């Protein structure tokens, strides 16, 4: 008698754990969301900021501005996998720096992701408080996700020096600043460095990305020097509609920026995405209302700046605060950076900011908004949401009592470290590059623009 055939396996082939490409630790949903999140962040840069930069500047600088962003993205990715990833998320070399090493080999990239220095101990230094972070997908997904974060940081920084930085100097600046500055912030706050274990909160890069790019951008602008007077005076965008297209890609891509940082597709990720959009929308409205009230006209550029400050401000808090707090943060991020940019910088002639030509106001939209968001995170971080994400147990914001007051001080100190490090290291990088090639374009290129620098123009009319 022929035995009956075994019942068909109800699990689709792609989901059977016995396949060599599907190890037991792999969670396909988490892996899919992480790769999608990374690609959304990549789209913020290419084409998002490429379009935004190429459209928001004068026509003579459209190609150069877009190309600075495009070049930085490619250069960072190669530096990242060659040495910088492990300086940011590998084994500890110093309390604020990891050991350099490649992230290219098959054995490294297909194993389960792990951030080796993230084990959090209690004060006795022996009892584990929170175990090492081991997301349920391969290292390749982690390397790609963190790589696009590093890339967008350099592109944001570029916004401060558009329209006059020597492209050869920019080619040198990108790997040097990535190595000497970005990796320090990333390891200190995310990779298991001293700020991570002290409990400084930076959910998705308010300090690591935005505060650092804003401060480094302002510092680089100081060393490079200002644009020509004719480029600084009356500099309308060359294409407002394309500028809005780039800004829209930036906004929608932020779902991956903040939604991917729990390293899993969980409930905290959902909170982060919703809070991101609440704060950005509120900030855009507030900035526009202020423009109408004080200047009589709603500005499209102002709306974009308000959108950006809202996105930046919520980034360190995205998955740690409630929706009402996101609205409060949006009100503050739409008004405080507006005040520093539109009043302090542009109207108060005695301010030191008048001495530095920050092309796109990156200091205000990223440094001011990022530090503001970090401080407000220390105020509004909700204990239950903190427990879903942070390694230090019983963390909370100031409004929730207990240790919340101390958290505000931690946020202030963490931001101060990022500011100090970036001012010093960025200055050193600029001085070293200046010994090899001029930081600033020659005068004849400044007068002509894209055609002189690249032999190409944005609009062949």
pLDDT at residue 1, rounded to an integer? 62
Residues 19-32: tens digit of each pLDDT: 678 888 999 999 99
Give the global pTM: 0.93
Strand partners, 165: 440
* Burial tier of 378 (Cβ tally within 10 Å: 0-12, 13-18, 19+): buried
pLDDT tens-digit map of 278-330: 999 999 999 999 999 999 999 999 999 999 999 999 999 999 999 999 999 99
pLDDT at residue 280, as a whole number: 98
Average pLDDT over residues 120-140: 94
Distance CA 264, CA 252 (A): 19
Q: What is the mean pLDDT of the chain?
A: 93
Domains and CATH numbers, the chain: 33-446 (1.10.3430.10)
Read off φ and ψ for residue 382, nearest 5 degrees: -90, 130
Model confidence band, residue 374 (pLDDT cutoffs 50, 70, 90): very high
- Cα distances from 67 to residues 61, 157, 341, 431, in angstroms, run 10, 14, 26, 24
pLDDT tens profile 199-242:
999 999 999 999 999 999 999 999 999 999 888 877 789 999 99
Polymer length in residues for the chain: 461
Q: Which residue's structure tokens are 């929730």?
A: 400
Write out pLDDT tens, residues 332-360: 999 999 999 999 887 776 677 788 999 99
For residue 88, the model assigns a pLDDT of 97
Contacts of 358 (CB under 8 A, 6+ apart): 160, 217, 218, 221, 364
Residue 138 forms beta bridges with which residues? Answer: 112
Three-state secondary structure readout of the chain: CCCCCCCCCCCCHHHCCCCCCCCCCCCHHHHHHHHHHHHHHHHHHHHHHHHHHHHHCCHHHHHHHHHHHHHHHHHHHHHHHHHHHHHHHCCEEECCEECCCCCCCHHHHCCECCECCCCEECCCCCCEEECCECCCCEHHHHHHHHHHHHHHHHHHHHCCCCCCECHHHHHHHHHHHHHHHHHHHHHHHHHCCHHHHHCCCCCCCHHHHHHHHHHHHHHHHHHHCCCCHHHHCCCCCCCHHHHHHHHHHHHHHHHHHHHCCCCCCCHHHHHHHHHHHHHHHHHHHHHHHHHHHHHCCCCHHHHHHHHHHHHHHHHHHCCCCCHHHHHHHHHHHHHHHHHHHHHHHHHCCCCHHHHCCCCCCHHHHHHHHHHHHHHHHHHHCCHHHHHHHCCCCCCCCHHHCCCHHHHHHHHHHHHHHHHHHHHHHHHHHHHHHHCCCCCECCHHHHHHCHHHHHCCCCCCC
Band of pLDDT at residue 402, cut at 50, 70 and 90 = confident
pLDDT exceeds 80 at position 17: no
């Amino acid at each position: 008698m022929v035995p009956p055939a075994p019942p068909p396996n109800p699990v689709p082939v792609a989901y059977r754990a016995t396949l060599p490409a599907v190890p037991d630790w792999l969670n396909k949903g988490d892996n899919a969301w992480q790769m999608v999140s990374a690609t959304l962040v990549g789209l913020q840069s290419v084409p998002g900021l490429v379009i935004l930069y190429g459209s928001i500047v004068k026509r003579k600088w459209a190609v150069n501005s877009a190309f600075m962003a495009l070049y930085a993205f490619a250069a960072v990715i190669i530096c990242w996998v060659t040495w910088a990833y492990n300086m940011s998320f590998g084994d500890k070399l110093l309390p604020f720096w990891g050991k350099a090493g490649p992230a290219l080999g098959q054995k490294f990239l297909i194993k389960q992701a792990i951030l080796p220095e993230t084990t959090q101990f209690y004060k006795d230094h022996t009892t584990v408080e929170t175990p090492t972070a081991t997301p349920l997908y391969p290292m390749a997904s982690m390397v790609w996700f963190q790589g696009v974060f590093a890339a967008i940081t350099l592109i944001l920084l570029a916004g401060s020096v558009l329209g006059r930085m020597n492209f050869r100097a920019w080619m040198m600046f990108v790997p040097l600043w990535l190595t000497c500055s970005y990796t320090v912030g990333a390891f200190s706050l995310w990779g298991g460095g001293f700020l991570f274990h002290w409990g400084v909160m930076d959910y998705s890069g308010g300090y690591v990305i935005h505060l650092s790019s804003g401060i480094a951008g302002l510092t680089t602008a100081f060393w490079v020097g200002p644009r020509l007077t004719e480029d600084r005076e009356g500099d309308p965008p060359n294409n407002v509609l394309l500028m809005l297209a780039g800004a829209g890609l930036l906004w929608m891509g932020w779902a991956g920026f903040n939604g991917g940082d729990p390293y899993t597709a969980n409930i905290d990720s959902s909170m982060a995405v919703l809070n991101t959009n609440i704060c950005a929308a509120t900030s855009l409205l507030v900035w526009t209302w202020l423009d109408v009230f004080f200047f009589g006209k709603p500005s499209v550029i102002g709306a974009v700046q308000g959108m950006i400050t809202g996105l930046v401000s919520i980034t360190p808090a995205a998955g740690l605060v409630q929706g009402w707090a996101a609205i409060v943060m949006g009100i503050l991020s739409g008004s405080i950076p507006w005040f520093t940019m539109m009043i302090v910088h542009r109207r108060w002639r005695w301010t030191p900011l008048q001495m530095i030509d920050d092309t796109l106001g990156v200091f205000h939209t990223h440094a001011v908004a990022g530090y503001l968001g970090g401080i407000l995170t220390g105020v509004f971080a909700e204990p239950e949401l903190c427990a879903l994400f942070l390694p230090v147990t019983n963390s909370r914001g100031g409004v929730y009592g207990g240790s919340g007051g101390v958290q505000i001080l931690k946020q202030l100190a963490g931001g101060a470290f990022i500011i100090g490090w970036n001012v010093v290291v960025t200055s050193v990088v600029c001085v070293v590059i200046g010994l090899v090639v001029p930081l600033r374009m020659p005068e004849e290129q400044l007068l002509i623009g894209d055609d002189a620098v690249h032999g190409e123009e944005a609009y062949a009319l």
